[in-house]
Structure 1
Amino acid sequence: MPVDTPPAALRRLSDPVRRALLPLADGLGGVTSAVRALPDVLICGAQRSGTTSLFKALARHPAVTGPTLRKGVHYFDVGYARGVDWYRGCFPLRASLRARNGRPRVLAMESSPYYLFHPLSAERIARTLPDVLVVVVLRDPVERAYSAHAHESARGFETEPFERAIGLEEKRLSGEEERLLADPGYYSFAHQHHAYLARGRYADQLARFERHLGRERMHVVDYADLFDGTARALTGIERFLGLPPGPGAPPGHHNARRRSSMPEPLRAELTAQFIESDTRLAAWWGRTPSWRA
């Protein structure tokens, strides 16, 4: 199958077929990287906040496309050593994105939810993509943590039950951000897969992105607004990206996992832990997040 098969056809492929074709696509993309696009749009997180659903919803727009055979490339977090030519090779040919026959220029996007949390991603993004637009979706940090634990457990990256995992989090993450900052080649499994509560302290992560990219290049969406059954939040994102109106369908729920309910005493305890962080988030955002309303 040619690397530049139309995106709609690629989206119909099953996941096993996509995975099987990915090495071929990466190889051919690398050979032709000089004539390929870099992304115009990054969905940077937060993890387990509907980024897959948003990616799929935006990909339905005729003027938006994603990387070849994947949603996220993870270049600016764990793949940076592979170099920008490899990254460029993951995207469509520039010629295929040009405006033509009344169709506007097509925007290339990717979605890697670890970008928001990785301490070096914002600086790397700003250096490599000086005009990129960034979209972030924020979810109740307690629900986000619980969902992330179910996700990591299902993938085999977590073996402890939720309450034990959050009890271990401080020890697991101790010194890891400092090591990532000190050594750009360092990889931290715990930082990527076991930061259940830390990933929900959004204010610091957003401030870091603002420092490197500027507030005008960031669009932050509340999870509750994105999944309120309407397309209002999606329409707002389209406007931010300078797109004409899209299909107008609300985002569906994708990549969700079934899990038991969190015990209410634990939920109340964790909600209280986020009061200070959520207060700072509200000040930065200029609105009260839905989970505090």
Structure 2
Amino acid sequence: MSSLVLPDLIIAGAPKSGSTSLFRWLSDHPDVVGSLEKETYFLVDPGSHMHRPDRHVSRGLEGYANLFPTDANDGRVRVEATPAYMVHETARAAVQDMPSKPLVLFILREPVAQIKSSYDYFRNNWHWIPPGMRFDEWVGTTSGPAAFRGNELAGDPMGTANYVHHLRAWRDAVGAERMIVCLFEDMRTNPKAFMRSLAERLGISPSHYDSYHFPIENESYAVRSHALQRVNIALRQRLPKGAVYNAIRTVYRAFNTTPATRLGSEAAARTLKERFAAENAALAQEFDLDLSPWREANAS
């Protein structure tokens, strides 16, 4: 067995599909240890806006150890969650031959909802999308990452949500037996059943989740003042995480944020749903998924 400190489970996608909450729920389990930061970016493609040259797989797998607690080699299940890995070739290539043979988990969200949540998140929680850009303008963009501060996810919303394309590439790289593919809607509707099933797959005690409270993390929101949000973004990257940070964040969000808005355009929603119909059908067949929660969401 390798002495390297490497993940046993990598949450590799999809963006804006509950990965932050899932990482928290797993890390709270006594038999699991999470990376020091939820998104390590260790396996992203060079040239990505997330690439950090000093902490990247190109410098060797040994660097992964610096991204986990010092006691991470104590037999617990090690997990990290960088949902952008779903679209990154470097991640597929690195995981394919990783000595720990980690499982790779994909939690998928109905594509229209995923795209809308990404729009809110990139435009409001951050400033990757210009405040004045409408949703229909963004989903129709052909500008690529350069128009969105180098963010490849913001530069290709439709391509990101084409899940079957990315999962086929991962299946070719690591094999179906190392992939866990599940639905955000199942996690949201019945988190206890979802986490008990996942715990059984990981070989950890499912009973931990019988009395667990399932906190929700990293939800998209709308902002009242984009000028204040720019200040918030600049400051929050410099403040140490902890109780004080959380208290300031709570006050700020009460003052300057509101819940994310709905799509607003039924015509745009129908167009997007039709766009992904064939891909979703292939996804359900090839990865043995019951996508009825997506149809129910579309009908509501």
Please classify the TM superposition score into its range, dividing by the shorter chain length.
0.7 to 0.9
**In the alignment, which of 202, 207, 214 is matched to residue 168 of structure 2?**
207
Summarize the Cα distance change of 1:250–1:123 in structure 2 as closer, same or farther, 3 Å threshold.
farther
Partner of 1:280 in structure 2? 282
CA distance, structure 2, for counterparts of residue 110 and residue 156 of structure 1: 25
Residues 53 and 253, structure 1, Cα contact 8 Å, conserved in 2: yes
How does the TM-score come out when normalised to structure 2?
Answer: 0.73
**In the alignment, which of 77, 80, 94 is matched to residue 57 of structure 2?**
80
Partner of 1:109 in structure 2? 79
CA distance, structure 2, for counterparts of residue 173 and residue 166 of structure 1: 13
Matching of residue 225 in structure 1 with residue 225 in structure 2: no
CA distance, structure 2, for counterparts of residue 96 and residue 210 of structure 1: 28
Which string of whole-angstrom CA distances, capped at 9 and with x for unpartnered residues, describes residues 47-90 of structure 1?
A: 0000001001111110001112x111011113433432322221
Residues 36 and 89, structure 1, Cα contact 8 Å, conserved in 2: no
Query: What amino acid does structure 2 have at the position aligned with 1:41?
Result: L
Matching of residue 292 in structure 1 with residue 295 in structure 2: yes
| SS of corresponding position for 1:282 | helix
Give how far 1:42 is off: 0.5
Matching of residue 161 in structure 1 with residue 134 in structure 2: yes
Residues 57 and 63, structure 2, Cα contact 8 Å, conserved in 1: no
**In the alignment, which of 196, 209, 213 is matched to residue 247 of structure 1?**
209
Give how far 1:280 is off: 0.9
CA distance, structure 2, for counterparts of residue 82 and residue 260 of structure 1: 42
How many residues in Structure 1 have an aligned counterpart in Structure 2? 238
When structure 1 is superposed on structure 2, of 57-66 and 122-131 the one drifting more is: 122-131
Q: Mapping of 1:65-144 within 5 angstroms?
A: 65-68=33-36, 70-77=37-44, 78=51, 79-93=56-70, 97-98=73-74, 105-144=75-114
Give how far 1:165 is off: 1.0
Give how far 1:142 is off: 0.7
Give how far 1:189 is off: 2.3
Query: What amino acid does structure 1 have at the position aligned with 2:110?
Result: D
CA distance, structure 1, for counterparts of residue 120 and residue 3 of structure 2: 40
How does the TM-score come out when normalised to structure 1?
Answer: 0.75
CA distance, structure 2, for counterparts of residue 210 and residue 250 of structure 1: 34
Give how far 1:210 is off: 1.1
Give how far 1:214 is off: 1.1
**In the alignment, which of 18, 38, 41 is matched to residue 6 of structure 2?**
38
| SS of corresponding position for 1:287 | coil
Partner of 1:181 in structure 2? none
Partner of 1:234 in structure 2? 195
Give how far 1:35 is off: 7.3
Residues 71 and 111, structure 1, Cα contact 8 Å, conserved in 2: yes
Which string of whole-angstrom CA distances, capped at 9 and with x for unpartnered residues, describes residues 26-58 of structure 1?
A: xxxxxxxx9762111101110000000100111
**In the alignment, which of 144, 160, 163 is matched to residue 172 of structure 1?**
144
CA distance, structure 2, for counterparts of residue 148 and residue 251 of structure 1: 22
Residues 137 and 220, structure 1, Cα contact 8 Å, conserved in 2: yes
Give how far 1:292 is off: 3.0
| SS of corresponding position for 2:80 | strand
Give how far 1:272 is off: 0.5
Residues 58 and 64, structure 1, Cα contact 8 Å, conserved in 2: yes
- The percentage of counterpart residues that share the same residue type is 23
When structure 1 is superposed on structure 2, of 226-235 and 271-280 the one drifting more is: 226-235
**Structure 2: where are the runs of 5+ without partners?**
45-50, 221-258
Partner of 1:265 in structure 2? 267
Query: What amino acid does structure 2 have at the position aligned with 1:156?
Result: H
Which string of whole-angstrom CA distances, capped at 9 and with x for unpartnered residues, describes residues 233-260 of structure 1?
A: 1111111111122233363321112322
Matching of residue 54 in structure 1 with residue 17 in structure 2: no
CA distance, structure 2, for counterparts of residue 129 and residue 137 of structure 1: 24
CA distance, structure 2, for counterparts of residue 36 and residue 287 of structure 1: 34
Give how far 1:143 is off: 0.6
| SS of corresponding position for 1:276 | helix
